[in-house]
Structure 1
Amino acid sequence: MRNYTYLGGARFTVINLFRSLRFDIDRLDMSWVDGEKPEFCRGLRIVDNDEINTVTVDGEDGDNLIYSLTYIFSKEDGADNFRAVTDQYLKVALETKEFLVTSQKKDPEGKSKVAEAVIH
């Protein structure tokens, strides 16, 4: 597997941070020479392998994604539980574009809504 990708004509180094049965989360870093710094130079890429969908996040959304993964990891026992809960969190996050886990919640029937999907 190659460890780089191209976005907008620029070459990015890909570093895989998380892999589950459904999702991959990669860090994208670019180094540039000459000219001005591109608008997007560092961020995270979420690859949904079931839906064949890729989302690139940076800035506040990227920070919220990393915070949420850390939060979920601290709340779950075992790698399998972490992967299952993270998959549920990412499904909601990609659908709602709300990457902060504490802003997701469940409705009274227990289905994920826009806020608190993963918090117990």
Structure 2
Amino acid sequence: MRDYTYIDGYRFTIWNIYRSKRFDIDRLDINFADKEKPNFVRGLRVVDHNESETYLLHGGDADNLSYSLCYLHHENKENIPDYFDEYLIQATSKKEYLVHKLFEEEKPLEVAVH
């Protein structure tokens, strides 16, 4: 696998931060540009291999996804294999990447925030 990709003519390095049977999450950082500054300079790419979909996230959405993965990693004490995938399925379908907002109907606030 190559360690770079092109988005709108700009080259980005790829750093895989999560991999499962269904999803890949990659950190993308711009590393070659010869035009005006693009909207997407750094962020995350979520690849859903089952649905053949790719989602590019930057700014607040990328921050929320990074935070949520860290939060869920801490919460997953039983080491359930599909724990992150369940979150990613809901997050990509609802376009809401902050775990607390995504599951606020399902969990009491004090449990979600603890």
Q: Which category describes the TM-score, using the shorter chain as reference length?
A: 0.7 to 0.9
Distance 1:70 1:10 in 2: 29
Aligned to 1:113: none
Q: Report the alpha carbon displacement of residue 14 of structure 1 after superposing the two structures with TM.
A: 0.5
| Counterpart residue identity of residue 28, structure 1 | L
Deviation per CA, 1:67-86, whole angstroms, max 9, x where unpaired?
A: 0000000011255x1x4111
Q: Report the alpha carbon displacement of residue 54 of structure 1 after superposing the two structures with TM.
A: 0.3
Aligned to 1:91: 89
TM-score (norm 1): 0.81
Distance 2:6 2:37 in 1: 16
Pair 1:2–1:32, CA change in 2 (3 A): closer
| Counterpart residue identity of residue 89, structure 1 | Y
Whether the 8 Å contact between 1:31 and 1:41 is mirrored in structure 2 is: no
Unaligned runs of 5+ in 2: none
Aligned to 1:101: 99
SS in 2 for 1:31: strand
Distance 2:48 2:29 in 1: 20
Aligned to 2:45: 45
Aligned to 2:30: 30
Aligned to 2:58: 58
Q: Report the alpha carbon displacement of residue 37 of structure 1 after superposing the two structures with TM.
A: 2.5
Deviation per CA, 1:18-72, whole angstroms, max 9, x where unpaired?
A: 0011100000011245543222110100000111100000000000000000000
Percent of aligned positions that are identical: 46
Unaligned runs of 5+ in 1: 109-115
TM-score (norm 2): 0.85
* RMSD across aligned positions (CA): 2.0
Pair 1:78–1:18, CA change in 2 (3 A): farther
Distance 2:10 2:34 in 1: 13
